[in-house]
Amino acid sequence: MKPEMERLINALSDMAGIVPFYYDIWGERHETSLETKGKILFSMGYDAENEEALREAVIKKRTPSFLEPVYVIRTEEKKNITFHLPYLGEAGFRVGLKDEAGGSEGFESSLRPEGQVERGGQTYGRYLFEIGHELAPGYYGLSAEVRYKGEKLSGTARLIITPGACYIPEDYDKTWGMVLALYSLRSGRNWGIGDLTDLENAAKWIGGLGGDFAGVLPLHALPLPGGISPYSPVSRLYSNFIYIDIEAVPEFQAIKGRTDWKRISALRNTEFVDYPGVYAVKEDALRGMFSHFYEEHYKKGSGRVREFEAWLGREGQSLLDYATFTALSEIYKTGWMDWPEGYKNPHGKAVEEFREKNPERVLLYAYAQWLFESQLEKADMAAGKSGMRLGLYFDLAIGSLGGGADAWGFRDQFAIGSDAGAPPDNFSLAGQNWGFPPLVPDRLRESGYELFIKTIRKNLEHGGMLRIDHALSLFRLFWIPEGSKPADGTYVNYPSEDLLGIVALESQRRKAVIVAEDLGTIPPEVRRALAGYRMLSYRLFYYERKYPAPDLVAPEDYPHSAFCAITTHDLPTICGFWEGRDIAEKKSLSLYPSEESYNKEIEARERDRRLIMETLKKEGLLPADYLKPERMDRELMLAIYGYLARTPALTVGVSLDDWLGVAGQQNMPGTAGGHPNWRRKSPQLVEEFTRGGQALSALFRRYQRGR
C-alpha cells in the first residue's frame, strides 16, 4: 500500500474513533492493523480503497462545521452553542429554540470569535453563543442564523439538556427483587411458554413477599418464526408477540371454538419450550383474532379501534417500519439484505406500494404489538399495586441483527460489514462474535442520537428499572470486520458523555433506575463515570474476589451503588455451580481446549466451595458444625443470599432458578447445540411456587432489606 494511502487511512481512523491499539485481559498490547482499519472504515460507509475519496473524507472531517448536528449539555453547564465561521470579525447571531410542547423563544447577540483554527489553508473563527438562562432538561429544536459581511448562514440542530445523574428514589435503599426468564414459566393455563399473565402473577407474588422489582430477560422482537435467543433480536424497539396471553385478548372469544386445545396441552407439557410449535399456534390465533378485529372493529370505527389508532399515532413511523419489515420477512423468510432490491429501502416507492396493496398484512403486526404493550402495561400496574417501588425490571440487549427491522428502518446508523463482539479473554479464549452490526458513532451524532433515544425511551416505557447489557458499549465497543476472527478486531470509541446524559434524561423522565452491566475487564474510569451518573454497578457473588487472591469480598466491602446477585443467565445457577454441572456439560460438549484446563477448573471449583463454606461460617450465616453437602440445599442457598443481603448494595437480585433449585443454566455460551439454550422450563408451575417464598421474605426482613 502506498504511504499516502496509509497516512489517510490512519488519519481517518483516528477521527472516526478507531483505536490504534488496545491491551487485552492479560496486559498484552494489540496494534490495530491497517487492514482492520480499512475494513472498519468501509463498514462505516467510507470508500477505504479510493485515495481521492479518503482524502475528501479527511478534509471534510477536519473542516469545522458552521453548526453541529447535536449539542448535549448538562443542566449545570453553561448553555454554549459553538459556531465556526470562515471569518474573524464581529458577526450577528440569532438562535431560536422550540421545546417539545411547541413553545418557542429567540435570542440575539453580536459576537467576536473566542479563538481560531486553521484547516486546509482556511482560517475559521470559533464563536460561543451563550443562552443566558436556565433550560429545563429535555429536547429542543435549535435554529440558527448569522449575518456577517453582507452574507447569511443558517442551519438547524438538536439541543439536549440533560441532568447530571439517573433517577434513584429518595427512599430507595436495601431492597431486593427477583429475576426470571419469562419463556421458562410453566403454568396450568399458558400455551407452552411463559406469557405476560404469568409475569403479572409472578410479579404480584414477589411484591407480596416484600420484593421491589420483577426482572425478565429481554422481551425484544426476534426473527420469525425461528428466533430463540433474547439477546439476538431483530428490533430493540418492539417486542416478541409469542409472550402475549392469547386467551386474555378480547377478540379471542371469536376464535375460541376452533382452538386446538389438545395441541396446546401437548406444548404445555413438553420438557423444553417448543418454539416452532408455540409460534405456530399463537400465530394462527393472532391471525384469527386480527381478522375479527379488522372486520368487526376496524372497519366500523369502534371505541376499541379509536384506542388502537391513538396508539398507532403515538408510535409513528418506527412502528410502521417494524410492521412492514415483519410482513415482508414473513414473505421472503430472510433478512432484508436478501430481499428484492426495491424492498431494501424502507421509504422507497416499492415499499410504499407494498403497504398500499397489503394494509391488513402490515396492520396485523402493529395489532400484535398493541396487544403486547397493553398486557405489559397491565402487568406493570399489578406490580405497583402489590407494593413494589420499581415494578418491572427489563433487560436491554447490546444490539440487533443486521438483517433485522432496526437495521432496515435505520440503515444509515449501522455498520453493515462489521460485527460487535469481544476480544479473546478468560471467558472465551477465541474471543466472541455476537453477530450483529455496531452503531456508527458519527452517524449517531449526525442524526441527533434519534435511534439511541428511541431505544432507551421505548425500553423504559413500562417498568421502573432497566439493565443495560455490556454498558462498556456506551464508551467503546469491540468491532470485528466481516470475515475476520475476533482476534483481528479492535475497539471503536463512542461519545460516552452524550450517551450517558441521554440515558440519565430518559431515566429521570420515567423515574426508572438504571443498572449498568459492567462485568469483565472494565477500566476504572468507566466505572467512575457510571457511578457519577448514578447507574448501579452489576456485582456477582461468583466474581467478587480479593484479586489476585481468590478470597470472597466481605459483605461490607460491596459498593453501595450496586445491584448484586449470585449469577446470570450465562452462568451456572447456584445449584449447578455447587454440583459442577456446568463443568461436566462443558466437558461433554468439548468446550475445554485441553485436559489441563478442565482439571484446573475442577480444582478451582473445589477451592471455591471450600472458601464459600469457610466464609459463611465466619460470618455466622452457617453453624460451625454444618457439613458441606454434595448438592445445594435450601439452608446453604439462603445463607449465600443472606451474605448478599448484608451488603450495603442498594439492591439484591434473586434468581427464580436458584429459589426453585434448578441445576441447569439458561444459556451455555459458545454452544449452538447440545445444550437447551433459552428453552429450559421451570420445575414448578407458577400456581405452585407462588404459594411459597415465606423463607425468602423472612430472610430479607431479618437484614432490614425490602419492605
Residues 75, 162: contact at Cβ < 8 Å?
yes
Helix (H/G/I), strand (E/B), else coil: 534:
coil
H and E: helices and strands count for the chain: 22, 24
Show Cβ contacts of residue 138 under 8 Å, excluding neighbours closer than 6 positions: 99, 100, 160, 161, 505
Residues 666, 680: contact at Cβ < 8 Å?
yes
Count the alpha carbons within 13 Å of 620 in the hemisphere toward its beta carbon.
1
Q: Are strands 418-422 and 220-221 parallel, antiparallel or unpaired?
A: unpaired
Helix (H/G/I), strand (E/B), else coil: 91:
strand
Grid cell 482499519 in the structure block, residue = 37
pLDDT of residue 199: 98
Nearest to 577 by CA among 567, 592, 586, 591: 567
pLDDT of residue 520: 80
Tell me how far apart the alpha carbons of residues 36 and 440 are, in angstroms, rounded to a whole number.
Answer: 16
- Please tell me the CATH code under which domain 76-162 is placed: 2.60.40
pLDDT of residue 149: 81
Tell me how far apart the alpha carbons of residues 510 and 628 are, in angstroms, rounded to a whole number.
Answer: 46
Q: Where exactly does CATH 2.60.40 map onto the chain? A: 76-162
Kindly state the cell numbers that stand for 22: 488496545
Q: Where exactly does CATH 3.20.20.80 map onto the chain? A: 173-389
Kindly state the cell numbers that stand for 289: 383474532
Tell me how far apart the alpha carbons of residues 576 and 36 are, in angstroms, rounded to a whole number.
Answer: 40
Kindly state the cell numbers that stand for 206: 414477589
Task: Specify which residues 477 forms β-bridges with.
Answer: 492
Kindly state the cell numbers that stand for 110: 453580536
Tell me how far apart the alpha carbons of residues 692 and 654 are, in angstroms, rounded to a whole number.
Answer: 15
10-residue stretch averages of pLDDT, the chain, 707 residues long:
91 97 90 97 95 94 94 95 91 95 93 88 91 93 92 95 95 93 98 98 98 98 92 98 98 96 97 96 97 89 90 96 97 95 96 96 97 98 96 97 97 96 81 93 97 98 96 97 94 98 98 95 92 97 94 97 96 97 93 91 96 97 93 96 97 98 93 90 98 96 92
pLDDT of residue 612: 97
Tell me how far apart the alpha carbons of residues 259 and 252 are, in angstroms, rounded to a whole number.
Answer: 10
- CATH class entry, domain 173-389: alpha beta
Nearest to 665 by CA among 579, 571, 567, 541: 571
